[in-house]
């Protein structure tokens, strides 16, 4: 197939990329983070500070973060451990709490059974 003479590849590419980015699924999470965790997360994901760059009295920063889906949000937030606190959605906060409780129970059971 021949490309039209007036075809603008750069404009076409930008338009296609913009349409793709607008149509892909998003899962928004509000998360309160220890400063280093906030900095790391802003490098990994699209994240916006809720109150600018102002930290709360404990030095933590609240961000609105865009993930592809709940699974990705759960994976990344769990990886931050005690350096992160999910504000919303509640379903994600509850899922992470349930997973943490299950992991703690498994570790206790392994310790009680003498598994190292």
| Segment 82-100, tens digit of pLDDT | 999 999 999 999 999 999 9
Cα-Cα-Cα-Cα torsion 71, 81, 91, 69, nearest 10 degrees, comes to -20
Q: What's the per-residue H, E or C state across 28-85?
A: EEEEEECHHHHHHHHHHCEEEECCCCCCCCCCCEEEEEEECCHHHHHHHHHHHHHHEE
- Choose between 15 and 18: higher pLDDT: 15
Give the list of residues 6+ apart from residue 24 with CB closer than 8 angstroms, or none. Answer: 68
Q: How crowded is the C-beta side of 57, counted as CA atoms within 13 Å?
A: 0
Q: Please report the pLDDT score of residue 53 as a whole number.
A: 62
Which domains are assigned to the chain? 24-112 (3.30.70)
- For the cut 80, the answer to whether the pLDDT of residue 58 exceeds it is yes
Helix (H, G, I), strand (E, B) or coil at 86: strand
Query: What are the pLDDT digits (tens) for 102-116?
Result: 999 999 888 888 877
How many CA atoms lie within 13 Å of 12's alpha carbon, on the beta-carbon side?
6
Span 36-48, average pLDDT? 82
Find residue 84's DSSP bridge partners.
Answer: 33
pLDDT of res. 42: 83
| C-alpha distance from residue 43 to each of 7, 17, 48, 58, 105 (Å) | 35, 21, 11, 22, 33
């Amino acid at each position: 197939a021949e490309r039209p003479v007036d075809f603008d590849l750069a404009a076409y590419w930008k338009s296609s990329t913009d349409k793709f980015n607008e149509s892909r699924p998003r899962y928004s999470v509000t998360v309160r983070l220890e400063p280093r965790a906030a900095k790391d997360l802003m490098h990994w994901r699209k994240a916006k500070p809720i109150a600018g760059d102002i930290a709360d009295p404990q030095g933590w920063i609240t961000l609105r973060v865009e993930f592809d889906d709940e699974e990705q949000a759960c994976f990344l937030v769990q990886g931050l451990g005690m350096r992160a606190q999910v504000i919303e959605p509640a379903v994600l906060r509850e899922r992470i709490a349930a997973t943490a409780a299950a992991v703690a129970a498994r570790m206790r059971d392994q310790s009680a059974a003498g598994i190292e």
